[in-house]
Amino acid sequence: MATRTRRPERREEPLSRERIVEAAIGLLDAAGEGGLTFRALAERLATGPGAIYWHITGKNELLNAATDAVVAGAMTADTADTADTTPQEAIRALALGVFDAIDAHPWVGTQLARSPSQTPLLRVFEHLGRQVQALGVPHTAQFTAASALLNYILGVGGQNAANAREHQPDTNRTEFLNAVSAAWANLDPDEYAFTRNVADQLRGHDDRVEFLAGIDLILTGISARQKPTDSAP
């Protein structure tokens, strides 16, 4: 009598969109966008691809849903922690939340930049815009102010995540910065006078501190543009 082959044990929890998105985030964190396939997702969820398609129509929708879940988490934390703060403090908290989310999930930065009309990016833009309005920025300058903040957050956050991915597995951050700092210090003194002069500052800088310093520079510029100029005599 032939012996039946046991099927892989399935989870008892019912399959849901939330479970699928959670599993997709795990795959993206582990292997990037290239590692997110419906076959790999089905194996992780111990189900068939057809069951997943019942909740998600395709990879683009899945990427957008995974990105939105991460961003929504950052927005929820921002709302909870900044209810009684100034607009400047709220913007710093929001910016740092997105920065940390991209640092923890490097693929998020790519997805945000790739889909400017989708919900995840609009969540960030909306939250920034509300705080820009609270700063009293004139209506005609609100889009520019919110866009400057958004582009800085995505640009620096994405670059920080890219730098982290490029590090060799056996090289820690201190060793990496020391090596780059030494390379800067040995550049041609005529062609790279400034870069050589700040090479020592690169060695010991903190990414999050520098990121927030940049946010403060933008906020200072926004505030400066609102101050009335002295009239000519």
Per-residue pLDDT, 167: 59
DSSP 3-state percent helix, strand, coil across the chain (nearest 5): 70, 0, 30
Per residue in 4-48, pLDDT tens?
444 444 445 689 999 999 999 999 999 988 899 999 999 999 998
DSSP state of 176: H
- The parts of the chain modelled with pLDDT lower than 70 are 1-13, 77-83, 165-171, 227-233
Per-residue pLDDT, 78: 55
Whole-model pTM over 0.85? no
Residue labelled with tokens 């620096």: 156
Neighbour count for residue 143 (Cβ, 10 Å) = 13
Per-residue pLDDT, 116: 74
Per-residue pLDDT, 136: 94
Q: Which domains does the chain have, with CATH numbers?
A: 84-225 (1.10.357.10)
CA distances 185 to 74, 163, 171, 194, Å, are 38, 20, 20, 10
